[in-house]
Chain A
Amino acid sequence: MSFTANHPATRQQAKIMNRFELTKRMVVRLKQNEAVIGGIGYTNFDLWAAGRRPQNFYMLGSMGLACPIALGVALAQPERQVIALEGDGSILMQLGSLATIAGRKQCNLTIVIMDNGTYQITGGQPAATAQGADIVAIARGCGLAQSAWAADEGGFEELIDLALREDGPWLIGCRIDQEKPADTTERDPARIRDQFMRGLGVKR
């Protein structure tokens, strides 16, 4: 597949990067009011830290549901690009959602997986990803053919640009380190939901 030609095929070959740094690089590339769904934990903390956007949604407790929520937004607003930002532990809980997304061929949806091989927020217990589970390979097996590991920061930016430009669904795997997040999301769910709906133009 041409789009992965310059990117490593395996998790082991991908550079270990930093979650906050990658999140910032992603957010600056969002110029069309793209919706971003931040999964539970440090993934959404760093999305919060990367700058408030009314098109960001921050989950609180429903671990594993970033991809389904993003699919719902993408179904409701087919003209808008939607990104699910999810951790490896979280997506391992809801692998079936990758098959559902592949089956829907949801062309305005991109999944970004931040993979540090651990349940970092609960003390760094190893996840199945540290023992050989490869989320990109799993995604391909689910039918998400446009799935790739980001080789490095530049490769990540290329993949994000490609995903925002061309029909998906896409899945971008990112190896990340064990750095703590840069901030903590404000836990006010009613406000998060209300601002998100206004950011999507559903409420005025």
Chain B
Amino acid sequence: MQAEETRAWHQIVVNVLKRHEVRLITYVPDNVLRPLIDATHADPFFTAFATTREEEALGILSGAWMGGLRGILLMQTSGFGTLANVIASLAVPFQIPVLMMVSERGTLGEFNIGQALVAKTMRPVLDAIAVENHTLTRTDEVEFILDRSIRQAIATQAPACFILSPLLTGGKVFQA
């Protein structure tokens, strides 16, 4: 058994999701998230599929939660930028603990100005609608932050958002 510290970030995420019975993976594809997406597709524990928009994915997770199935939404920063209304009008007021994981673009070497600007809206939006959010920068903290935050989300019936920093994932690198 490998120590968690020597595992890749996405292997740790898979383990924690399994521990908490988070089976439904809805996502809008992203290159940095690819190892996690591939791992959930390959493992029959999970039901994983792409949606056409992040809002749609959040709606699916909300219905699934009310029906007794836990899930998480995987997306990139620009996708999070489309979610303010549905978090504020569905997840928060209906007290649905939607879990969200964002691969962070727009910082630490971003090459696309559109990504850089939309990224600036993410944490202010999360804070404005009082959604618990953590930025994951270190492999040795992933397990603790995810485990505790998923417990808290379910116990307090509140959404939670995990931002995967390029410090953790390597990010998307500019090819000159």
Contacts and interface: CB of A to CB of B under 8 A. Distances in A.
Interface of A: 35, 37, 57, 59-62, 64-65, 67-77, 80, 94, 96-97, 99-100, 103-104, 189-190, 192-193, 196-197, 200-202
B4 interface: no
Given A61-B85, A65-B58, A72-B64, 10 more contacts: A62-B86, A68-B60, A75-B47, A77-B68, A94-B53, A94-B56, A97-B51, A97-B56, A99-B52, A103-B49
B66 A57 contact: yes
Contacts, number: 122
A92 to B, nearest CB: 13
Interface of B: 24, 47, 49, 51-53, 55-69, 71, 85-86, 88-90, 93-96
10 contacts: A62-B85, A62-B90, A67-B59, A71-B59, A72-B62, A72-B69, A73-B63, A76-B68, A190-B95, A193-B66
B59 A68 contact: yes
A36 B57 CA distance: 19
Question: Among A71, A74, A190, which residue has the most Cβ atoms of chain B within 10 A?
Answer: A71
Given A69-B63, A94-B55, A97-B52, A75 B93 contact: no
Contact of A76 (B55, B69, B88, B95): B69
A65 B93 contact: no
A62 B74 CA distance: 19
B55 A65 contact: yes
Contact of B65 (A72, A100, A103, A190): A72
A162 to B, nearest CB: 23
A59 B63 CA distance: 11
B157 to A, nearest CB: 9
A60 B89 contact: yes
Contacts of B85: 61-62
Contacts of B24: 72, 75-76
Nearest to A64: B55
Contacts of A67: 59
Contacts of B52: 96-97, 99-100
A77 B55 contact: no
Question: Among B49, B56, B69, which residue has the most Cβ atoms of chain A within 10 A?
Answer: B56
